[in-house]
Amino acid sequence: MQDLDLTIRNGTIATAADTFSGDLGVKDGRIAVLARGLAPGKRDIDASGKLVLPGGVDSHCHIEQLSSNGVMTADDFYTGTVSAVHGGTTTIVPFAAQHRGMKIKDVVADYSKRAAEKAVIDYGFHLILADPTEEVLTQELPEYIGKGITSFKVYMTYDLLKIDDYQMLDVLLAAEKHGALVMVHAENHDVIRWLAKRLLDRGHTEPKFHAVSHAPLAESEAANRVIQFSRLLDVPVLIVHVSGAESVRAIQAARALGARVYAETCPQYLFLKGSDISRPGMEGAKYCCSPPPRDEASQNALWAGLADGTFQVFSSDHAPYRFDASGKLPKGEKTSFKEIANGVPGLELRMPLLFSEGVGKGRISLNEFVALTATNHARIYGMYPRKGTIAVGSDADVGVWDPDKETKITAAAIHDNVGYTPYEGRTIKGWPEIVVSRGRVVVENGKLSAEKGSGKFVRCGAPEPLKHERKPTTEMRLFKALIS
Ligand code: DUC
Ligand code: ZN
Ligand code: ZN
């Protein structure tokens, strides 16, 4: 056996498909061998009693990103990636965000430079497309897809981000033509705008009215609308941050008809509720995100959807804003629900929360946990098998988890730059004690040993088709030939 740089021995290794006892050996940053009875490498970790899992892939997080209202996230590529890796995530896919009038070239150059200087773990990028002009769709997108940015998010709401239905059809068709995947923030803009105006006109300004204006129906209608567009064109679409039971049903119904729809949900929809936004005073602002956390029936529908394959990915949608005038509360106590920066932090706790409440409480299996937090992200966004699994030849991105370790969550112990956590005071069980990124032990018992800027850009390839996908019919091929 060749000299191994690192061995992790005697652990229980789990992938999305398999669980087995064994040893893992690393050479030059990659997994070189999976076996039993390996001799210790230069560095040897005894994983007896521990779980050895793929490092997480978080494919939805907003890092060092300027919002459309001009508010900068609290985390940059250093604090964001440091926080992520402490919670077992070894690859992130944040956004390079185009605002209206910007060239994709400039956007990508800007984000790439900042990430390269600061990230401690590997990263890919999605684009946010707020201005899908002809030039963007026919020239810039194909160019950047070729350079490994193969997915982009579009919004159906937010004044300065939303695209209309006509543009959505253009975007969906262009994405498929060039081998990219469209992620959609699905909420009906006019419903939200109309409800918000009426609420504000009547003096209802508190944070809890954010959830009233972002009604569950606004989400399920928009999700259903874009899913029907994806059916019309027979192209894939991914509905991000699904929060409500009705949206879950819309996705399931469309998929039963053969729709090529992927779905994502996030910790805030499983572990927070409408009652959190309703906390007194401005406290509720800490829980304001779009869509907002819903009720228990929605939480139950999401848990069922995680277990039955409705959802492929569990992402943080980390959108970090401090609880002060720099972030959440631009007008302090006088900030109305419409002015609160939208988003909650979750990069670090995404995996531990799901592990504790999902695997620990028997709602999902360990293999489903791996699929939802790592493997499916890598597959859907074209990073597999380099990322998201434990296999010979894959990058050695690994978490060594103590399944019994109990942690009381406090903002002080979390490594992001947000200053609060919506999960303060909860006790969870299971934590990644050692995290390895490309063969480097980057976190060990809470201590970081990764250099700023040591993370690398990962070029994404074409998304992998869904398992249930069928071949296009002759009619569909003829129709697409007509409109392409
Ligand atoms: N909603 C978004 O669409 N993005 C970031 C955070 C949020 O709440
Ligand atoms: Zn969104
Ligand atoms: Zn988001």
All domains of the chain in start order, with CATH = 6-53+395-448 (2.30.40.10), 55-380 (3.20.20.140)
What local confidence, expressed as pLDDT, does residue 15 receive? 98
DSSP 331: T
Distance 313 CA to ligand 2 centre (A): 15
d(CA 319, CA 72): 10
Nearest CA to ligand 1 atom 1: 290
Say if strands 19-27 and 6-14 run parallel, antiparallel, or are unpaired: antiparallel
Which ligand is nearest to the Cα of residue 60, counting in written order?
3
Distance 358 CA to ligand 3 centre (A): 23
Distance 290 CA to ligand 3 centre (A): 8
Nearest to 390 by CA among 65, 11, 5, 1: 11
Ligand 1 atom, smallest distance to 155 CA:
3
Ligand 1 atom, smallest distance to 342 CA:
8
Which of the listed residues 289, 294, 337 should we mutate to test ligand 1's pocket, taking the one with most ligand atoms within 8 A of CB?
Answer: 289
Distance 390 CA to ligand 2 centre (A): 30
Distance 364 CA to ligand 2 centre (A): 25
User: Which residues have C-beta atoms less than 6 Å from ligand 1?
Assistant: 62, 185, 289-290, 317, 319, 342-343
Distance 11 CA to ligand 2 centre (A): 38
CB 319 within 8 A of CB 342: yes
Nearest CA to ligand 1 atom 7: 343
Which of the listed residues 290, 316, 418 should we mutate to test ligand 1's pocket, taking the one with most ligand atoms within 8 A of CB?
Answer: 290
Ion ligand 3, residues whose Cβ is below 5 A away: 317
CA angle 216–363–353, rounded 5-degree value: 75
What local confidence, expressed as pLDDT, does residue 213 receive? 98
Residue written as token pair 């409440």: 357
Which ligand is nearest to the Cα of residue 289, counting in written order?
1
Distance 96 CA to ligand 3 centre (A): 12
Alpha helices in 87-122 (DSSP H): 104-118
Distance, CA of 45 to chain centre = 30
Distance 290 CA to ligand 1 centre (A): 5
Nearest CA to ligand 1 atom 6: 343
Phi, psi of 165, rounded to the nearest 5 degrees: -65, -35
Distance 319 CA to ligand 1 centre (A): 6
d(CA 173, CA 226): 12
CA separation (Å) from 470 to 198, 252, 269, 343, 483? Answer: 46, 16, 31, 36, 21
182 CB-contact burial (10 Å; exposed 0-12 / middle 13-18 / buried 19+): buried
Tokens of 403: 């399944």
Which of the listed residues 62, 69, 328, 347 should we mutate to test ligand 1's pocket, taking the one with most ligand atoms within 8 A of CB?
Answer: 62
Distance 162 CA to ligand 1 centre (A): 13
Which ligand is nearest to the Cα of residue 154, counting in written order?
2
Ligand 1 atom, smallest distance to 290 CA:
8
Spell out the residues 6+ positions from residue 54 whose beta carbon is closer than 8 angstroms to its own: 15, 370, 374, 375, 388, 389, 390, 397, 398, 399
CB 31 within 8 A of CB 390: yes
**Per-residue pLDDT tens digits of the chain, which is 484 residues long:** 569 999 999 999 999 999 999 999 999 999 999 999 999 999 999 999 999 999 999 999 999 999 988 999 999 999 999 999 999 999 999 999 999 999 999 999 999 999 999 999 999 999 999 999 999 999 999 999 999 999 999 999 999 999 999 999 999 999 999 999 999 999 999 999 999 999 999 999 999 999 999 999 999 999 999 999 999 999 999 999 999 999 999 999 999 999 999 999 999 999 999 999 999 999 999 999 999 999 999 999 999 999 999 999 999 999 999 999 999 999 999 999 999 999 999 999 999 999 999 999 999 999 999 999 999 999 999 999 999 999 999 999 999 999 999 999 999 999 999 999 999 999 999 999 999 999 999 999 999 999 999 999 999 999 887 676 778 899 999 999 999 8
